[in-house]
Copies of this chain bind each other. A is one copy, B any other.
Amino acid sequence: MNKVDEFRNYRTKMNQVILEEDNLFFKRFFNLDTKAYEEGALDAKTKEMLGLVSSLVLRCDDCVKYHIEKCHELGVTRTQFFEILSIGNLVGGSIVIPHTRRAIEYWDLL
């Protein structure tokens, strides 16, 4: 579970640095980020899947990891996870493949 902990610890540590800064933008932006994924007309699970595929096509490994954790928690199955990856690879092309490899590795660590 080392890679998972490493990711989580760095994320937590640096988010704290950001939120301790006297900068109103980041406080509000982080708040908006949390709220956008809350249950609404779409359920939280669907929203996390939307966050995952968006992060994948934009090729942000850390964002992908974060949404993988959330999807995993909210009951997305491995087969469903692969279908999300399929859409991401189709839309974003073969440059998404290396991120897909790392995404699957991370999923399998959870």
**Residues of chain B with a CB closer than 8 A to A61's CB:** 98
Copies in the complex: 6
Report, as a range, how many residues of chain A touch the other chain.
35 or more
Residue of B whose beta carbon sits closest to that of A105: B14
Contact of A50 among B37, B60, B84 (CB under 8 A): B84
A108 to B18, CA, bound (A): 12
Contact of A51 among B14, B22, B23, B91 (CB under 8 A): B91
A43 to B23, CA, bound (A): 15
Is A23 within 8 A of B82, CB to CB?
A: yes
**Residues of chain B with a CB closer than 8 A to A101's CB:** 10-11, 14-15, 17-18
For the complex of A and B, 10 pairs with smallest distance between CB atoms: A93-B93, A14-B101, A62-B98, A25-B86, A41-B79, A54-B91, A60-B95, A92-B93, A50-B87, A41-B80
Of the A-B pairs whose beta carbons lie under 8 Å apart in the complex, a sample of 13, sorted by A's number, is: A14-B101, A14-B102, A21-B82, A23-B79, A28-B35, A36-B86, A41-B82, A54-B54, A57-B57, A58-B92, A63-B97, A90-B93, A92-B92
